[in-house]
Structure 1
Amino acid sequence: MQWADPFIALTVAATVTKTIKLGTGVCLLPERDPLMTAKVVASLDLLSRGRVILGVGAGWLKEETEIMGTKFNQRWKRLRETVEAMRVLWTEPAASYDGELVHFPAVRCEPQPVQYPGPPILLGGLGPKVMARVVRSYDGWYPFVSGPDAFEKDMVTLRALADEAGRDPGSIQVTAIIDPRDGAVTADELKRYRDAGASRVVVYSQQTRQEDADGKGLEVVKRSAAIVERARSL
């Protein structure tokens, strides 16, 4: 499959749009340099006038993670430290960070993003461990969901974890990834996602993933248009 770099692709999208959000789904931060990634994301946020949402993940393929310089059993720590470091770079005029895996002396990172204290960072993944990480360190959660029933149960767990940690559950942005089923997602299903706590939904599946990689993304968009219209009517 042919995959473009997400930030180059989103820069192209930014030049021909005005209002849509520009999100990664997901960017594997343990495989990227924190300083360069912070600058790229900030530049995209500046040029798009504050439309970036940064979906991130730790990765699952050991060989890929380690080829890119991170030990597989340290990927979650590397992810958290990279996120912390980028937030410092986006908010301080002379930023430094001294973590176990990520560290650099005082540097300037310009331009600064439009959004303050930076674009929202959503963690992709499933399960209680991922949700606990979301509550501790991230602006939001970005899960694949199998349907409204499962999502409603997961949101009960997420809210309980947030309450236990002393965090307002309403401060957690939730973007649910749902199978578009060729446009057959109903208005009732969309309402249930919204009422359960989804800030937005992204229509995506293994089928659309393959089509997108094969250059048929516009066909996917056309088939999903009915879902957008149903969401607008809610």
Structure 2
Amino acid sequence: MDIGVLLPTGKAQWGSDGDPRELIAFAREAEESGFSSLFVNDSLLSPRIEALTMLAALAPVTERVTLGTGALLPVLRRPIQAAQALASIDLLSGGRLAVAVGAGFPGRFGQPVHALSEVPWERRFARLDETVALWRALWGGATSFHGEFHDHAEIPVATAPFRPGGPPIWLGGATAAALARTGRLYDGWLPYPPDPADYRSGLLDVRKAAAGVGRAPESITPALFVSVRVDDSVADGRRALDAYAHANYGMPLEELERIQAVVTGTPEDVVAGLARYRDAGARHVVVRPGALDLASQRDQLRRLATLLPELA
């Protein structure tokens, strides 16, 4: 099982006196410690380092790790310019980019982003699928594209990514429609279900959908996004994660863990919690350290690094 880490690109994770330029050293330490990937998330709703800017900064200072988005919101960017930026990062990293995408969720974490981007909320998943199709067409050398949302009779030759056809594109989300889309159209699945049993059943549905359209089910990367806190006890970890949930989401941990995967406790507790997802089929786990300043983020990174041999 590959273990990656979500970089603390949001201001809420830097601390009051944190310097985001330390993220470069954080990323290099993660790679040297044996983590398989470095992911960044994407939003306009809180101060943070912009996702593609962060990955472009990481490409020349890392050598081995996958660089990923978890999840990129294509609605925030013009699709042709986004295809150019993603191809450029794939080139600069030597083909180490993985692009997990999402369409947002109803309520305060989704609709305001569409309003700020002046893109209709309605039919957002169809727009997402077509945007991904446009990216893939451009990366394959297309000079025109005709779709429902994007219609271009003439497009200049785009920057070609490092890998023929472009980087793999994963989908976040675990609704029935998202599972079917993943199986039909995407290269990987990056959900965060609170219950490993839901992960197992969701992965089965993804693979059934893939087989139904003649795709090899095992070709779709089964990934997982999970918030993790290694602490002296489960109670201590939950207190720290409660503060984290309030700072990042404006909600208590009890509410957050109803919608997102959360694992905390002693090293043994964390290994056991993540192993439940491994047993459910996850093969690339992206952990988000639950800490509210960069020093604590580094401490969590080092604690998690000691668990990598057992988890892998």
TM-score by length of 1: 0.86
CA change 1:181–1:12 in 2 (3 A) is same
Q: Corresponding residue for 1:222?
A: 302
Question: Can you give the 5+ residue segments of structure 2 that lack an aligned partner in the other structure?
Answer: 1-10, 12-46, 231-266
Is 2:68 the counterpart of 1:19? no
How far apart are the structure 1 equivalents of 2:187 and 2:286?
17
Q: Which residue of 2 aligns with 1:42?
A: 87
* Aligned with 2:116 (options 61, 67, 77): 67
Cα 1:32–1:187 change in 2 (3 A) is: same
How far apart in 1 are the matches of 2:190 and 2:197?
A: 17
Change (3 A) 1:228 1:103: farther
The verdict on how the C-alpha distance between 1:178 and 1:63 changes in structure 2, with shifts beyond 3 A counting, is closer
1:122 — aligned with what? 170
The equivalent residue for 1:102 is 150
Correspondence for 2:130: 81
Aligned counterpart, 1:199: 283
Question: CA shift at 1:100, angstroms?
Answer: 1.3
| Distance in 1 separating the partners of 2:188 and 2:218 | 10
Q: How many residues align?
A: 226
Is the contact made by 2:87 and 2:160 (CA closer than 8 Å) also made in structure 1?
yes
CA distance in 1, matches of 2:172, 2:62: 25
Residue number in structure 1 paired with 2:212: 164
In 2, the alpha carbon distance for the partners of 1:124 and 1:200 equals 13
Moved more, 195-204 or 33-42: 195-204
**Residues 65 and 219 of structure 1, relative CA distance in 2, 3 Å threshold:** farther
Q: 1:63-91 CA distances to partner (integer Å, 9 max, x unpaired)?
A: 22132021101211211111000001101
- 1:135 Cα deviation after fit: 1.5
Task: Confirm or deny: 8 A CA contact 1:124 1:142 kept in the other structure.
Answer: yes
Tell me the C-alpha RMSD between the 2 structures: 2.3
| Contact in 2 for aligned 1:144/1:176 (Cα 8 Å) | yes
Q: Specify which structure has the bigger relative contact order, considering alpha-carbon pairs within 8 angstroms and separated by 6 or more residues.
A: 2
Residues 39 and 109 in structure 1, CA contact (< 8 A), matched pair in contact too: no
More helix by share: 1
Task: Give the match's secondary structure for 2:166.
Answer: coil
Instruction: Tell me which residue corresponds to 1:174.
Output: 222
Q: Once the two structures are aligned, what percentage of the paired residues are identical?
A: 34
Does 2:195 correspond to 1:111? no
Checking the alignment, whether the CA contact within 8 Å between 1:46 and 1:114 is kept in structure 2 is yes
Moved over 6 A (4+): none
Question: In the aligned structure 2, how far is the partner of 1:215 from the partner of 1:123?
Answer: 32
**Amino acid aligned to 2:99:** L
CA distance in structure 2 between the partners assigned to 1:99 and 1:169 by the alignment: 27
Structure 1 residue ranges without an equivalent (≥5): none
TM superposition shift of 1:195? 5.0
Verify the 8 A CA contact 1:187 1:230 in the aligned structure 2. no
Bigger Cα displacement from structure 2, 168-177 vs 196-205 = 196-205
CA contact 1:148–1:189 (8 Å) conserved in 2: no
* Superposition TM-score, scaled by structure 2 size: 0.66
Point out the structure with max Rg over C-alpha.
2
In the alignment, what sits opposite 2:253?
none
